[in-house]
Amino acid sequence: MKQLTKAEEEVMQFLWQLNEGNVAAIIEQMPEPKPAYNTISTIIRILENKEFVSHRKEGKGYIYFPLVKKEEYSNQSLNKLMNNYFNGSFRNMVSFFVKKNDMNMKDLETILQEINKDDSSNS
C-alpha cells in the first residue's frame, strides 16, 4: 500500500468520517481557514490515482468514497513506524510510548483490560 502525504491523509480522514461525499462536503468538514476547492479536488484526484478513493457520477458532479478502510491504513502505517523506528519490535514501540507519555500502572492495566476484552469478544 502506498504512503500518503500529510495533506492526502488529512483529506482521507474527512472522507472516512463522511463515508462518501463530493469535494464541497469534504471542505465543509474542514476547519477554518478552508482550503481552496481546486486544492481538495487535486488531492482527491491524486488519491484516486493511488487507488485510495473512487467515485461515482451523480448529477453533474462526482461523489467520492474510500476504497481503503481507515483501520487497514492505520495498521499499515503503524507497522511502517514500528519497522522504521523500533527495529520491528512492537514491545520497543509500546515501551517508547509508555515512557514518553508518562503512563502509570493504572493506565497500563486499563489498556490491558481493553485488549483482553477485545480478544474475548473475537473468540
Indicate the residue type of 66. P
pLDDT digits (tens, 9 = 90+) for 63-83: 999 999 999 999 888 888 889
Q: Which phi and psi (to 5°) does residue 64 adopt? A: -100, 150
Do residues 19 and 94 touch, judged by C-beta distance below 8 A? no
DSSP 8-state symbol, 21: B
Q: Give which of 15, 112, 6, 123 is closest to 68, Cα–Cα.
A: 15
pLDDT digits (tens, 9 = 90+) for 2-46: 889 999 999 999 999 999 999 999 999 999 999 999 999 999 999
Note the pTM of the prediction, 2 decimals.
0.74
Domain boundaries, the chain: 6-66, 86-123
The CATH class, in words, for 6-66 is mainly alpha
